[in-house]
Amino acid sequence: DAKTTQPTSMDCAEGRAANLPCNHSTISGNEYVYWYRQIHSQGPQYIIHGLKNNETNEMASLIITEDRKSSTLILPHATLRDTAVYYCIVAYSGNTPLVFGKGTRLSVIA
Amino acid sequence: DAEITQSPRHKITETGRQVTLACHQTWNHNNMFWYRQDLGHGLRLIHYSYGVQDTNKGEVSDGYSVSRSNTEDLPLTLESAASSQTSVYFCASSDKKSSYNEQFFGPGTRLTVL
């Protein structure tokens, strides 16, 4: 079973920041938080990952709480093309298989 | 450019037939994975491989098999297709040498078992 809890769906206005929460209260010390997204019918796409510190790349920012029990993925200026299912996954680094939950369906509205 | 491909993209078969889905990647990745996705659900792991001659069972491996004879390919075989195996199948690969767990996914194969 997935070790994360995410809201089933969220809406966001185009151009605004999309903040997607994730709870992972049982995360262990060596496990990372990964975010992937799946745009309609396509294969999932890696977005970002982090261990303890906040992370930012060209796609998004990841904010991890100090106790590491929850995190938030931030899309700073959501566009219609960001409409997708977003998966928060807790996993060890390297080679371990990923366990996908049901994710959050984000709808960006014009 | 390096890529991961799956074939066929769509397949209709009958109950009881053997079906093989192909997955081919040109990144020279050691790790390869097969997932299935049913309507309204996340992806579930079927089988995975960390290198040539290595295969491992995932969460939903019953009725499926894989073999890894080279680095580039991990074909998924349904020994005797069942209607419950109607699904979208995704193949993925990742770099063994990478320090983090970025998997690259193929476009998927939609399989219908009648």
pLDDT above 90 (res A64): yes
Q: Which of A19, A12, A22 is nearest to A79 (CA)?
A: A12
pLDDT above 90 (res A67): yes
Q: Which residues of A touch B92 (CB under 8 A)?
A: 43-44
Mode of pairing for the β-strands spanning B109-113 and B10-13: parallel
pLDDT of B33 = 96
Q: 3-class DSSP state for residue A58?
A: coil
Does the beta-carbon distance from B108 to A46 stay under 8 Å?
Answer: no
pLDDT band (50, 70, 90) for residue A1: low
pLDDT of B31 = 93
Q: Is B33 exposed, middle or buried (0-12, 13-18, 19+ CB in 10 A)?
A: buried
Which residues on adjacent β-strands are paired with residue A48?
A35
Does the beta-carbon distance from B42 to A100 stay under 8 Å?
Answer: yes
pLDDT of B99 = 67
Q: Which of A20-29, A61-70, B33-42, B69-78 has the lowest mean pLDDT?
A: B33-42
Task: Quickly tell me which residue has 């097969």 as its tokens.
Answer: B34
pLDDT band (50, 70, 90) for residue A3: confident
- A46 to chain B: nearest residue by CA? B102
- What is the percentage of chain A residues whose pLDDT exceeds 70? 98
Task: Tell me the average pLDDT of chain A.
Answer: 93
Q: Which of A45-54, A63-72, A89-98 has the lowest mean pLDDT?
A: A89-98
- A91 to chain B: nearest residue by CA? B101
pLDDT of A2 = 65
Helix (H) or strand (E) holding B65: strand B64-66
Give me the tens of pLDDT residue by residue for chain B, a chain 114 residues long: 779 999 999 999 999 999 999 999 999 999 999 999 998 778 999 999 999 999 999 999 999 999 999 999 999 999 999 999 999 999 999 987 776 778 999 999 999 999
Q: Which residues of A touch B96 (CB under 8 A)?
A: 94-95
CB B23 within 8 A of CB B6: yes
pLDDT of B39 = 85
